[in-house]
Amino acid sequence: MKFFKIIIFIILLISPLYAEDSVEDNNTSSVSDQYVEISKIRIIIDEKIFEWTEGELIQTDTAENDDVAESNITLKSSTIISFLSIKPGRKVKQNSLEELCRDSELRLNKSGYFYSASVMIVPPVKNPDERTVIVTVTSGYFWRYSGGNAWGMIGKAGLFGDRASFYLFAGWNKNGFEYMHYRAGGIPLILGARAFYFGPGDYAGKRNDENGNRFESAATAGWFLHPDLIICADLADSGFGPDSKGLVSFQPYIRYEKFLKTGTDSNAGFETRSFIYPSLNKFKAETGGFVHAGLTGSTVFAFALSGGYSPDDLTEDICFDLFYTEDRNVRSGYEVEQLSASDYLLGSAELRQTVLTLKPAGVECRFQTFLFADAAGLHTISDPDEMIIADAYGAGFRILFENPVFARFTFSYGINRDINGRFFFCGTAGF
């Protein structure tokens, strides 16, 4: 019940973000001509043209062989539509339309599916209350390469022209696959599956080998409520290998991300997730959010706040881990047991500065330095009655390979108020 109360609270919290559009859609008959209707969206994919109106979506350019023309389109029009905040027939204010188009363009360019993307509003010719929007994209490079500490990844996005991807992982301490489809069946349906073996070498965070949690698998299903907002659920099995005890969990979650109007390349988001363990009759919930404020084109202030709670007594295999978990930990010299929490509240801040950008072989690579501070209040699973305050202060360095490599490496060193330090490495670009 507590999880559902959290979900209701979050929905009420974010509903004002869509309230203005809702009012505009339902009360257009009583407003002035500052309201406009999106009469048509023209989608240009690699020079192939589609017209999307309220009733249909058709390809309008001509070719001698329609089958050949269709085969030359790398991505389907439905894939482009999945990134858009607009649709034909919608009535909004002119300034709202401009903001929705800006969001759509940013979403397209940040997706990694396109070399370039633009969303433009065409001024009216005959009807002053109608607008045509032109979406122009150039299909990108869809092979993906990445890696981490002692493992590598290869895969492909844009499978069959859809918003779908398949990745293979192999190495000393991570082997497996991941498949995700973000518009299954041509509708906003999310489906996915993954399975991993975190071995034979040591993998940070998989410390309970006797419980079999080197093996993990999960199936995902969800729905896009809005291009920025999804609601999903994972059915996960941690420990499906030989001689494993196994630990099945049901994990419903809601995720929201939004580009911000202020700053350079600024965005914010949150995720709230619950963990239900039927075999243990235990439950926990976790929520977290972030804000990235672009101060200049190369300087970003990042802040993240997260918290976890359980009404039950947690064990080592299902506790909140603030030691190993990437992008959600206290980066200084504590022991694992000191950061294994039954509940917690954690805040992290970073001041990031891009110091160099290179493009070897056409792949953008950014070198970034950062200062950070972490502070957490938590109850450990060994002593749930005593509140511990953990802190960290330090600096770090990142190497960030962009499309199509998508490999991120973060190195940091931090100390706490007792001058105990720790070096930390992870394969992410930070929270």
Q: In this predicted model, which residue has the larger pLDDT, 4 or 249? A: 249
Read off the pLDDT band of 156 (50, 70, 90). very high
pLDDT (mean) for 178-189: 94
In angstroms, rounded to a whole number, what is the distance separating the alpha carbons of residues 200 and 29? 66
Query: Residue 100: which H helix or E strand, with range?
Result: helix 94-110
The 10s digit of each residue's pLDDT in 217-235 is: 999 999 999 999 999 999 9
Q: What is the pLDDT of residue 33?
A: 52
Q: What is the pLDDT of residue 366?
A: 93
The 10s digit of each residue's pLDDT in 4-58 is: 444 444 444 444 444 334 434 444 444 335 889 999 999 999 888 999 998 788 8
Query: Integer distance in angstroms from the first to the last C-alpha of the chain?
Result: 29
Least confident range from 78-92, 137-151, 275-289: namely 137-151
For 357, residues 6+ apart whose C-beta sits below 8 A from its C-beta are 364, 365, 366, 367
pLDDT (mean) for 313-339: 92
Query: Residue 18: which H helix or E strand, with range?
Result: helix 16-26
Read off the pLDDT band of 147 (50, 70, 90). confident
Nearest to 2 by CA among 254, 280, 311: 311
* 362: three-class secondary structure by DSSP: helix
Q: What is the pLDDT of residue 40?
A: 93
CA angle 44, 47, 48 (to 5 degrees): 65
Residue 375 has pLDDT above 70, yes or no: yes
pLDDT (mean) for 156-160: 93
Q: What is the pLDDT of residue 128?
A: 85
In angstroms, rounded to a whole number, what is the distance separating the alpha carbons of residues 424 and 407? 17
In angstroms, rounded to a whole number, what is the distance separating the alpha carbons of residues 399 and 424? 14
Query: Tokens 């809702």, residue?
Result: 22
Residue 183 has pLDDT above 70, yes or no: yes
* 9: three-class secondary structure by DSSP: helix
Least confident range from 6-15, 163-172, 267-276, 383-392: namely 6-15
What are the Cα distances from residue 29, in Å, to 20, 96, 264?
A: 15, 17, 37
In angstroms, rounded to a whole number, what is the distance separating the alpha carbons of residues 65 and 79? 23
Phi then psi for residue 41, to 5 deg, are -120, 120
In angstroms, rounded to a whole number, what is the distance separating the alpha carbons of residues 216 and 247? 9
This model's pTM is above 0.75: yes
Query: Tokens 């800006």, residue?
Result: 102
